[in-house]
Amino acid sequence: MGLLALNRLVSVQRVRERRRRRRQRQRGQIRDAKVASLANGKDTSCQQDGSPQGHKRRRYSGPDLPEDIWRHIHFLMPLQDAARAACVSHAFLSSWRCRPDITISWKTLGGKDEVAKDFNSIADQILKNRSGIGLKTLKIDFCDYKADTYSYLNNWLEIAITPELEELTLDLFPRKAKYSFPCSLLSNGRGNSLRHLKLVWCAFSNTVGLDCLKNLTSLHLHDVHITGNELGCLFSSSSALERLELHGCHKIVRLEIPCLLQRLRYLGVFVCERLKVIESKAPNISSFHLSEIQGKFSLGESSLQLKDMMLSMNCTISFARAKLPFIVPNLKSLSLASDYEVPNTPLVSKTFLHLKYLCISLSEGAFSPYYDCFSAVSFLDAAPSLETLRLGVTQLWMKHEPFVGEPSPQNQIMGTRHSNLKSVKITGFCSAKSLVELTCYILEYATSLDCLTLDTTWGCFRRCSDHGISKCASLTKNIIRDSRNALLVIRAWIEGKVPPSVKFNVLAHCSKCHNADED
């Protein structure tokens, strides 16, 4: 919320307030205030006016609103606007001095070259001005700034980490020497109030002895140097943890989640290259996301509690169809991204009775070029409660036989009525026979289908009609050719089978930006 939004709010002030402002303007008693940023440590609100009379500058304090409303309005403003407003308003000045959240980044400090040159000194002044005042949220983001700031960080954290701090985010710019987070600042009761901790691109070691993170509910470590043992010490003092996300923590070889974490509901592990084993004894995990990890995982008692799962690894589809119904039988949402698939995968011998949402993504080059997409039917048969299906494929990597109106013999099966399936979207739809047959199968046997979307654009390109831009993103001739072939197949073999009750969406490339002459 900026100053323009504030002007809209004060426009409804009382009539006498508007008249008072008009009289002040007529007498010339209100002059343009010099807006000095509090980020530089200057408070111009109490300076003397430069007039010959030497009177104090009179300031407009705003409409007569309760203090808590002013404070709420002020807290919704971006940092820079909030500082400027505090320079010209008594109501905002008091709320600035107890603002609970501070975000320090190149963007919030102005985003200009002159600000970037003095980034460290400005940020240093902001935090020094807030020393000893109840700061609840601090976010320090150096992703867009490459200057040497590590020498300042210890002082800033020393100021900010108090028994009142609830959320701390430290997002550093990647470089060879990672900043070593001073874990000692979280000891001796200073971390007792911390609820959310996010660290990006630093080292977090010396966790032995940490005993004051009893209220920590969310821990996010991204590209952080920490071992499995050090993480275990952290868990021992974080019994209230509800959400754990690890991304690119390459020093962890074995991840053990103790049963102490009774409140843990979400576990996400992404791209930890050396990780071989995930063993969880936390009993109440309901959401588990795993990406680019080839090690083994065991969820213990949580297997029966799990409702949401996302997997991305080698042979994900094969593994899911053969094993998951036995491991996590109560899933409601399942997302699968395959790094590699073989053509023939085993059929599901047990059903997902509660599965309502299924997303399957086959990335480019990740599967056999002759992979039969029609095999997704086995998932439909194994999920009688399924309501939403999302299927994503990559057209150019599919060496497929185009559909000419004759179904493959192996796909001529008697289908099961899917009375709960309501929404289907296929991204990367092309003229491959297996995709066309799968679509026709769904139209015939999904008796409650409400919406069918066939996206021939791969779903990842910006189109002028969708984004208000002058021209669509450039595409290769092969992509445009495959998209046009897909449209011909849709018109010839699919459109006529769509019931009137089904909302049918076909997404194609823009004919204005990609015309036939490009071929």
Between 93 and 423, residue with greater pLDDT: 423
CA distances from 345 to 294, 304, 371, 372 (A): 19, 25, 10, 10
**Percent of the chain having pLDDT more than 90?**
35
Mean of pLDDT over the chain: 77
Establish if 255 belongs to a structural domain: no
The values of phi and psi at residue 311, to 5°, are -125, 135
Establish if 187 belongs to a structural domain: no
Establish if 391 belongs to a structural domain: yes
Q: What is the pLDDT of residue 376?
A: 80
CA distances from 119 to 86, 114, 426 (A): 21, 9, 47
Establish if 88 belongs to a structural domain: yes
| The domain boundary residue, chosen from 99, 116, 145 | 99
Establish if 35 belongs to a structural domain: no
Q: Determine if the pTM surpasses 0.85.
A: no
Who contacts 64 (Cβ-Cβ below 8 Å, separation ≥6)? Answer: 13, 14, 17
Establish if 80 belongs to a structural domain: yes
Establish if 344 belongs to a structural domain: yes
The values of phi and psi at residue 397, to 5°, are -95, 0
Over the stretch 160-206, which tens digit does the pLDDT of each residue have?
A: 898 889 999 999 877 767 889 988 888 888 888 999 999 999 998 87
Judged against a pLDDT cut of 50, whether residue 31 lies above it is answered with no
Who contacts 21 (Cβ-Cβ below 8 Å, separation ≥6)? Answer: 30, 60
Establish if 510 belongs to a structural domain: yes
Please give the residue range of the domain that contains residue 396.
Answer: 316-403+417-462+472-518
Q: Is 230 helix (H, G, I), strand (E, B) or coil?
A: helix
Tell me how many domains the chain contains: 2
Burial 184-213 (b: 16+ CB within 10 A, else e): ebbeeebbbbbbbbbbbbbbbeebeebebb
Average of pLDDT values for 115-137? 75
231 touches 208 (CB < 8 A): no
Q: Is 283 helix (H, G, I), strand (E, B) or coil?
A: coil
The values of phi and psi at residue 44, to 5°, are -80, -5
For residues 163 and 300, what is the distance between their CA atoms, to the nearest angstrom? Answer: 36
Judged against a pLDDT cut of 60, whether residue 261 lies above it is answered with yes
Judged against a pLDDT cut of 80, whether residue 43 lies above it is answered with no
Q: Report the chain's terminal Cα–Cα distance, integer Å.
A: 49
Q: What is the pLDDT of residue 199?
A: 95
Q: What is the pLDDT of residue 57?
A: 45
Q: Is 203 helix (H, G, I), strand (E, B) or coil?
A: strand
Over the stretch 86-105, which tens digit does the pLDDT of each residue have?
A: 666 666 666 666 677 888 88
CA distances from 94 to 134, 149, 167, 375 (A): 13, 30, 23, 65
Over the stretch 198-235, which tens digit does the pLDDT of each residue have?
A: 999 999 887 776 777 889 999 999 999 999 999 998 99
Burial 242-273 (b: 16+ CB within 10 A, else e): bbbbbbebebbebbebeeebeebbbbbbbbbe
Over the stretch 364-420, which tens digit does the pLDDT of each residue have?
A: 544 455 567 777 888 888 899 999 999 988 754 555 555 555 555 545 555 678 899
Beta bridge partners of 452: 424, 504
